Amino acid sequence: MNYNNKSEILKRANFLLKDAVKNRESLFHTPIISTFADQNISSRVMVLRDHNASQRTIRFHSDFRSDKVQELIDNPKTSIIGYDPALKTQIRLIGRSTINHLNKKSLKAWNESQAISKKCYSVKDGSSQKAKKPEIYDFHIKDIKLEDGYANFCTIEVAYHTLEFLYLQRQGHRRCKFVWGAKGKLSSTWLVP
């Protein structure tokens, strides 16, 4: 891997994001997603479910009733960051999110989900609601009709226009920013780390 070559760096970023979808050892499997909550910033960890390099999209799954979904409906601007110390690599993405709820895309993702993931969406009242006692919301898989959770399930599809890559190395770090314009034209630049 030549970290002085921008196109190799972009290939590496795409590889790491694709790999992270299935590879639970990769810390890019669980990046941090930030949204605007009115004038404040709100961040949380989420599981990366898909990466499409040619369309420049990544996908997350969530509860439609959660705060983050409402925040993204109000303001789709989204920032994502991951750092894997084993790879000495940080990746930052900036983009806009679309929520898929009760549509073809959400149905496809739901049908591809495992039962263990589906069960979260049957929880009554939904993510981010205030709870008097936390135990009330514990899972009892035998009492849950898994498919009922679909009504609460959504996907968050982030179309990113900026990808920034930082690689840490002793002789000098490498930081490179890729920006796609409105028509998809790519420009890239080195940044002082």
User: 127 or 188: whose CB is closer to ligand FMN?
Assistant: 127
Q: What are the angstrom distances between the C-alpha of 170 and each of 72, 88, 173?
A: 39, 11, 7
According to DSSP, residue 183 is labeled T
Q: Which has the closest alpha carbon to 116: 135, 136, 144, 137?
A: 144
Closest C-alpha to 66, from 97, 39, 87? 97
Length reported for the chain:
193
Binding of ligand FMN by 73 (CB under 6 A)? no
Q: Is 67 in the site for ligand FMN (CB under 6 A)?
A: yes
The contact mask relative to ligand FMN for 113-142 (x = CB under 6 A, - = no) is --------------xx--------------
**Residue 58 β-bridge partners:** 51, 158
Minimum separation from the CB atom of position 141 to ligand FMN (A): 19
Indicate whether 84 belongs to the interface with ligand FMN (CB under 6 A): no
60 near ligand FMN, rule: CB under 6 A = yes
Q: Which of residues 16-35 bind ligand FMN (CB under 6 A)?
A: 30
Return residues touching ligand FMN (CB under 6 A). Answer: 30, 42, 44-47, 60-63, 66-68, 127-128
